[in-house]
Structure 1
Amino acid sequence: MASRDSLDSVTKRRRFWRCPTPAAACTPGTCELLREMMKESKLTNFQQRHIMDTIKRDLEKEKRRLQSIFATGKDPEKWGKKAPPVPQKDPGPELDRFEELVKEIQDRKEFLAAMESLGQDKQYRGIILAEISQKLREMEDIDRKKSEALKKALATT
């Protein structure tokens, strides 16, 4: 019965000093030792609360670190920053500009057809046809350059 009374008094004192729970932080003896040291150093109540709160935060941080170690098997503090990605020498097949232009022209034709179905084609027809003609000119330039390069390649062989 005496041990239960002493346990209740420790619990009450722990609540009063806002000491972390024993499972999360320190044993009752350690908390008592900390309180005695704070009294001897004549800390104010605010300073004492600050110290106890700091202990709680440090213990919470340690808990998260240990949870991470158990979950991943690695210490997150050792992870550090990720190395910057190494640029790839061969980014893959480059999209052909000619094919892009074909897709853009198809998109514009579909847009114009959609506007026709809504009865608003007159508003957009001039703009869309101008864009399509621009794309066609660019395609002709690309075609001309490709054919010249092909002729040069055939002439050298």
Structure 2
Amino acid sequence: MASQNRMEAVTKETAFWRCPKSAVYTPETRKLLKEMMKESKLTSFQQRYLTDTMRRDLEKEKQRLQTILATGKDPAEWKRKAAPVRQQDPAPEPDRFEELVKEVQERKEFLDAMEALGQGKKYQGIILAEISQKLREMEDIDRRRTEELREALATT
């Protein structure tokens, strides 16, 4: 149990020692890795961990190839088939004018709540400035829509 905890600690602390799960090593690669382990002066535990990982990957690859020869299909292809995704109708984009109306109402409600608590004077200037900014933006949207409607009526 202690060695397992130590191995988890090593693999969590140093991402360098974590090998990819689907890696396949050729004999030349394994030989090169062993030489690199010796040169980098890894502890025997680290060397054993890397060697075991290489062996496990090799065993997985053998199993995969046996399955391909037996069934004619790669097991990875079986996993790839996913249920068809239902396409949903795209939600209509929220109308900016309606959003602004809601924001103005929220700020008015906030100001009313602060006045009820006796803090109205503290927030009144800020909230009224925000409301006037929202009203100006609403006026701009209204002007644009009116112009678009006039142009549409003029072309018909």
Which TM bucket (shorter chain)? Answer: 0.3 to 0.5
TM-score (norm 2): 0.47
TM-score (norm 1): 0.46
Larger Rg: 1
